[in-house]
A and B are shown apart, each in its own frame.
Chain A
Amino acid sequence: MMKKLWTYIFLVSILASCIPEDLPIENIPQAESRLVVSSAIQQNLGVVVTVTRSINALDDATRLDPDDLLAELAVSGADVQFLGNNQSITVQELFPGVYATPVSSLSPNVEYELRVNDAERGQSVSASTEFLRSVPILIVEAVAVKATTDSLAEVTVVFSDLPGEENWYLVSVQPIGESGPLLSDEDVFAHLFTDDDQDGQQITESFIALDFDGYDIGDTILVALSNISKGYYDFLDARENDQTGVEFLYEPYNYPSNVNNGYGYFSLHTLNSRIITVQP
């Protein structure tokens, strides 16, 4: 045992003494702070738009929990408008950084332009997208699957594809803790797929939902199905391929955006959600 210990100490000492100190680097131009918008249609809240500001890479806010993060970066008092279908809709601020309007004020398959003006910062952004038809979940279930050291959840969603058009779909899976789903720090798993050659048919989509802590029988999860645009599909695909942290192994890139003069993604997709329990 001692021999092994001394061998390790010897090897580590040799290696550690030879590893040079990391070199500092300064004067890396930081991204200027801009307005950020993101949006979705929640069944209970209507069209929700978040308006926040971007921060530089060394800002301590990056280490905050989601609820504190939103509060820290929220842009309050901005003028948020939807323009489309010959009307202009003012989106009201619910609480700092979060704006909402009833979904009934929008017409399906109509293109809407979002305009955000932050007079305090003197910044404004705009973005356009189509209000997509909602696709309700017919059946959803999750079954625990034994993996290597943990168990995972195999999620199955059944729904009817919208006929006569090419569709891109998102199914999100989020574990729900004691504090509920909102503003939790749980990671959200996103499964992306298209309707391929199943136009207008009933689609059964099964996939393994990944989570760092795994899923156990009896766990409560939130499953949401959305009919999304190609652009938002590409945005979420970039999220799936993001390998921040191992940049020396792959080439980093910026997520695509449809926001002019800003960041984020403006999407009018409806999240049809169900809360279910993982079954054996």
Chain B
Amino acid sequence: MPFATIVLDSTPVATSTQAGTFNFQASPGVHTVSATFIGYEIFSDRFNLQNDTTIRIQLKSSVENLNEFVVVDQANFAKDVIQDNQMSTISLSPREMSMLPTIAGETDVIKVAQLLPGVTKGFEGTNDYFVRGGDADQNLVLLDGATVYNTGHLFGFLSVFNPDILGDVQLTSGGFTADQGGRLSSILDIKTLSGQADSVEVAGSIGIIASRIAYRQPIKKDRLTLSLGGRRTYIDQVLRTINADVQIPYFFYDVNGRLDYQHNEKHNFYFSTYYGADVLDFSRLDESQRGNSDFNSNFNLTNSMQTVGWNFTPNSKQALEATLSRTQYDYTLNSSFEGNSIDLFGAIEDYALRTKWTQFLTQKQKLTFGYDGILHGISPSKFITTGTINDFIPSSQSRGLEAQEHAVFVQYDRPINSLLQLKVGYRQSMGIADGRAYLNPEPRLALRYTLTESSSVKFSYSRMAQYLHRVSSSAVSLPTDIWYSITRDIKPQTADQIALGYTRSFSKIKSYVSVEGYYKYMNNLTEYQEGTNLLLTASFEDQLLQGSGYSYGTEFLFRHESKRFQGWASYTLSWTNRKFDGLNNGREFPAKYDRRHSVSLVGQFDLTERWTFSAIWEFLSGSRFTPIVGNYTILNPSGTGVELVPIYTDRNAVGVSNSHRLDLGLIFKSKPSARFKSEWHFSVYNVYNRATPASIVVRTNPETGNLEYIQPALFGLIPSVAYHFRF
């Protein structure tokens, strides 16, 4: 289990690695060693440590074992939050995520992350999220260390992550450590289930949109474990079964695989792989459904990641984590009609090496250093037209590029005294592309000052650099968006962020409160010249602009975890603005998702040992929009008459209406003693069917005949039911 906090005699001393290993130093003697993670029972025991010792800890889910474990102290996890130097980081357990009401019954790690403080969602239903005022492409998403470029199936409606194979998830939005880099705003580190299985484990779900299954089996006990997972939507098959005359030629699927090999106490290896695809293929329709039989269209989008990992712990003072990964993301669109065709293609392929060496200098001083390197192969994005259509929509193609990212880093952790903990780091990154190399220093600093046993103040500063950006001229991300690198003319994006936070735990009510304020300045952000339309062209480089932005805000988080009730309440107050010389006449303007207020109330309550009730209530200030506010007439280009020209506000000058939404969920579990465990999940998304608008349009009122502004919405009330099982 990664990201678990290891506590030695009330002091956090380590965080478990991706392989679930950890190192710490202790003076000889009897010590209490604890391990904690959100959603799991705390492990705590006393050990007489005289020389190098291996301790194996297995955490159990606190929700599944209400009657079996004596809970040591649920609020210890709060203590870890207070004592830990790390700030602006939140961990989520898969169990915690699976208990929340969901859209269409599918647990979605991205949708849960959008409920966290400092995280703003984009267009409703999509997987875009914006962290502390950054853009959607400033979030690095990793799956077992491999970059994930496209996080959504069904145009972003569902994430690509099968919840049944997920291990733990950690979102870092500030206070970045020196080994973290590559994006400006956040790192969402997602791990699949790891470690050695004791026995065969099967888990799955049957829902209204998709079904999934996961399988784990020890191949050789305590040595080799195989994990597999698969998921497919079947709305196309269900409709075909009900009525062959009604067909939807779309489906998605994904498969995960993982091998964990524990060679001995010192060496641990794993191989993780993912392959997923979205397919929209009109040729799958029967003749009767296709109408004009000459029309054909086929859209394929694929994600593929593979990671080989090695964890080496030669002794209690040293540890090495190394991963070698490959990521491929590509899409193709082929449409043909009466001798004409439109073909669209884009792809990116990465090979990455990440290494991190941890050296304990003393019991409390730690040195971490390493190297990260990524090779990006960006294929030319192509828009090819043939036939008569080529005469008015010409073909176009962007340049293919090979780009490299390299970074070396070092970080030093030590206590200054009994109250003050210091973490200072330096990351030197470099991006190379298009015959040009860019160097960026990325210093890091974190301080934690313990006020009392239950409260602390934290400060962090980090500088981040980003050498890739996502090409999209639309307000929402599309499956055909392209990831592109720096060039001779396009510089790397950079961000400087400071954060100051206060955390206090309340052991009596098993909760903690966290308040964090931040300021972030971003430079060399990319945007497009006004009027850029990338829907019918692949040529975009000369349309790019660079500018700056800044954001600031305050985040409040109250988190509670007790036997029967877990949840959190978060509130974020924030501002984020942009300035580009070529946009909005050079004047500063609010970012698209400059949502002033964001409130999330999330909770799950065990009514009985078999019934659990969960709810999410969310309030969001409206996103920003540029509505039409007038018209004027000009001579047409022939000079024979007049035509209307729209007048818009300044860019993003108007906020759409605030939105709020209530989701409810009810879970009915099988008897705790049953070996075959099952759960029925009933949920309702948007219980009171309120619109979450994203745009402002003018339309004719059907009753009065007058023109009026309206804000159309996409999703209303969506009930769902799913059956989960595990044995």
Q: Which residues of A contact B (CB under 8 A)?
A: 3-4, 7-8, 11, 17-26, 28-31, 34, 36, 38-40, 42, 48, 50, 52-60, 62-63, 66-67, 69-70, 73, 145-149, 152, 154, 170, 172-174, 181-185, 188, 190, 207-208, 210, 222, 224, 236-239, 241-244, 247-255, 263-265, 271, 273
Contacts and interface: CB of A to CB of B under 8 A. Distances in A.
A70 B636 CA distance: 12
Interface in B90-137: 123
B627 A28 contact: yes
Contacts of B656: 25
B509 interface: no
B396 interface: no
Given A23-B657, A23-B713, A26-B709, A251 B689 contact: no
B70 interface: no
B642 A66 contact: yes
B391 A208 contact: yes
B644 A23 contact: no
A248 B475 contact: yes
Interface in B493-507: none
B392 to A, nearest CB: 4
26 contacts: A3-B243, A20-B686, A20-B715, A20-B717, A21-B691, A22-B693, A31-B630, A36-B633, A39-B635, A52-B632, A53-B632, A54-B631, A57-B629, A57-B647, A57-B698, A59-B631, A60-B706, A63-B707, A145-B391, A149-B338, A172-B638, A236-B637, A244-B646, A250-B475, A271-B638, A271-B639
A148 B388 CA distance: 8
Q: How large is the interface on B (under 10, 10 to 19, 20 to 34, 35 or more residues)?
A: 35 or more
Given A237-B531, A241-B533, A30 B690 contact: no
Interface string B133-149: 00000000000000000
A28 B637 contact: no
Contact of B633 (A50, A210, A248): A50
Contact of B696 (A4, A25, A42): A25
B639 A224 contact: yes
Contacts of A63: 707
A56 B639 contact: no
Contact of A208 (B392, B634, B646, B654): B392
Contact of B709 (A28, A173, A182, A265): A28
Interface string B377-392: 0000000000011011
Contact of A56 (B625, B629, B645): B629
A57 B473 contact: no
B630 A249 contact: no
A81 B657 CA distance: 46
B629 A31 contact: yes
Contacts of A20: 686, 689-691, 713, 715-717
B654 A28 contact: yes
Interface string B596-631: 000000000000000000000000000001111111
A64 to B, nearest CB: 9
B337 A148 contact: yes
Interface of B: 123, 239, 242-243, 245-246, 337-338, 340, 388-389, 391-392, 473-476, 528, 530-533, 535, 625-649, 651, 654, 656-657, 686, 689-691, 693-698, 706-713, 715-718
Given A25-B710, A263-B632, A264-B634, A241 B531 contact: yes
Nearest to A189: B637
B224 to A, nearest CB: 48
A241 to B, nearest CB: 4
Given A18-B717, A147-B389, A208-B391, 4 more contacts: A31-B647, A50-B634, A58-B708, A184-B640
Contacts of B530: 238, 251, 253
Contacts of A23: 657, 691, 693, 710-711, 713
B649 A29 contact: yes
Contacts of B627: 28, 57, 247
Given A148-B389, A250-B474, A253-B530, A40 B635 contact: yes
Given A23-B713, A208-B391, A249-B475, A36 B707 contact: no
Contacts of A17: 716-717
| Most chain B beta-carbon contacts within 10 A, residue among A185, A224, A249 | A249
A69 B633 contact: yes
Nearest to A206: B391
Contact of A30 (B239, B630, B695): B630
B403 to A, nearest CB: 27
Contacts of A251: 473, 475, 528, 530, 626, 651
Given A20-B691, A146-B388, A244-B628, A182 B713 contact: no
Contacts of B123: 248
A54 B632 contact: yes
B257 to A, nearest CB: 36
B386 to A, nearest CB: 13
B629 A25 contact: no
Nearest to B688: A20
Contacts, number: 248
Contacts of B645: 239, 255, 263-264
A38 B634 CA distance: 5
Q: Which 8 A-B pairs have the closest CB atoms?
A: A31-B630, A253-B530, A241-B531, A38-B634, A172-B637, A54-B632, A20-B716, A248-B695
Contacts of A26: 709
B713 A172 contact: no
Given A247-B695, A253-B648, A52 B633 contact: yes
A24 B718 CA distance: 22
B243 A7 contact: yes
Contacts of B392: 152, 207-208, 210
Contacts of A8: 246
Contacts of B340: 148
Contacts of B690: 20
Contacts of A253: 530-531, 626, 648, 651
Contacts of A173: 638
Contacts of B531: 237-238, 241-242, 253
B709 A29 contact: no
Contact of B644 (A62, A154, A174): A62
A222 B638 contact: yes
Contacts of B338: 148-149
Contacts of A190: 637
B242 A7 contact: yes
A273 B636 CA distance: 14
A18 B716 contact: yes
Given A62-B644, A174-B640, A243 B533 contact: yes
Contact of A18 (B626, B629, B641, B718): B718
A151 to B, nearest CB: 9
Contact of A4 (B246, B473, B474, B648): B246
A39 B642 CA distance: 11
Given A147-B388, A148-B338, A188 B638 contact: yes
Given A25-B656, A152-B392, A239-B645, A40 B639 contact: yes
A48 B635 contact: yes
A157 to B, nearest CB: 14
B638 A70 contact: no
Contacts of B639: 40, 42, 48, 224, 271
A21 B716 CA distance: 9
A22 to B, nearest CB: 4
A265 B642 CA distance: 13
B632 A55 contact: yes
Contacts of B657: 23, 25
